[in-house]
Chain A
Amino acid sequence: MKYIAACDTDAGISKYNNQDSVCVKTADTGSGRAALVMVCDGMGGLSRGELASAEVVRSFSEWFDRELPFELPDWDWETAARNVISRLRRLNAMMVDYGMREHLQLGTTATGIIAVDSKFMTFHVGDTRIYKISDKLSQLTDDHTFVNREVKNGRMTPEEAKTDPRRNALVQCVGVTADIFPEVKLGDLENGANYMICSDGFRHVLTEKELFEELSPQTVSSKKDMQKKLRQLIDTVKTREENDNITAAMFRAEF
């Protein structure tokens, strides 16, 4: 079994600093493979977004290095899912408390994949997306945005949502509200499929057709391909005058 992963990030053309954080880790566990791939998009409108996204990425990164090796002998996906939800809720409470003490508002999305051998879990809060790209492009996460909720409840059409001034408003993200309800899904990895996690800055000005064509498993199959394509797409996004920070990570399992 082989895991391949890569990531790239860019402050973009108009933001002064990059508030996104990204993490790509793969490991030989002694008996198989494990991976953590995640993207956190620090909130542009909120002060210290880069601190919020860095704190979440650090927490998961440290878990992967220090705790996962000892959890693997008794690995259980249901327990792992509960632990991820607890970790995100703890981080949320810590940030809300910090914000109140320091009179700051900080927030971040938190979306990622944890893989162990041939199975995986997605965790998600906010509007960062996970796509699976195999013979088609599928979105594995649900945007936690106001307009998406309105569309789901039948109060807005998808067309109205695209132009609604509230289209970027999140209904939940880490660090802003008293509690969060992370979305966690379990699944089997598809051999040779590409999984892509991206901030909204990456996908806003790219069509789904472009994402599928540029990142299909036939086009992108090695780490070098991933790095090259992600940079190429980031450059395309910048030429289309996207104003946000731009971040994406890719992951692929071969067995």
Chain B
Amino acid sequence: MTTGEILVIAAAAAVFIVINIIMWSIIIRKERKAAAKETAAAPKDDSIALPDTVPASAAEMGFRLLENTVIIHTDDRI
């Protein structure tokens, strides 16, 4: 193999490596962007507090909530 041929192969390999580096850095950047977007859009796992809705007339009858835990994960309604 001549020196010229070796140089051509080396140049091709170098170009191949450079193209790969550029391609993978673009892919990684895109993936990071998508992951950040997904996190921002994630539904919250926090529970949503519902107000105590005992009417005044019921309270007058002696009805009083002692424990009131309602855990739901959306405030959308049907």
Contact = CB atoms under 8 A, between A and B. Distances in A.
Interface stretch (A5-13, A152-160, A205-213): A5-13
B61 A69 contact: yes
Given A30-B62, A31-B62, A25 B67 contact: yes
Contacts of A51: 74, 76, 78
B77 interface: yes
A24 B67 contact: yes
B70 A55 contact: no
A23 interface: yes
B51 to A, nearest CB: 9
B73 A25 contact: no
Interface of A: 3, 5-7, 9, 11, 16-31, 35, 50-51, 53-55, 57-58, 61-62, 65-66, 68-70, 72, 94-95, 98
B68 to A, nearest CB: 6
A70 B43 CA distance: 37
Contact of B77 (A9, A17, A23, A55): A55
Interface stretch (B6-14, B17-25, B52-60): B52-60
B69 A65 contact: no
A29 B70 contact: no
Interface of B: 42-43, 45, 47-48, 50, 52-55, 58, 61-74, 76-78
B45 A57 contact: no
Given A28-B66, A54-B76, 20 more contacts: A3-B67, A6-B69, A9-B47, A11-B45, A17-B42, A17-B73, A24-B68, A25-B68, A25-B70, A26-B67, A50-B43, A51-B74, A53-B72, A54-B74, A61-B70, A65-B54, A65-B55, A66-B55, A69-B58, A94-B78
B73 A28 contact: no
A72 B43 CA distance: 39
B18 to A, nearest CB: 38
B61 to A, nearest CB: 6
A29 B58 CA distance: 9
B71 A21 contact: yes
B71 A26 contact: no
B50 to A, nearest CB: 6
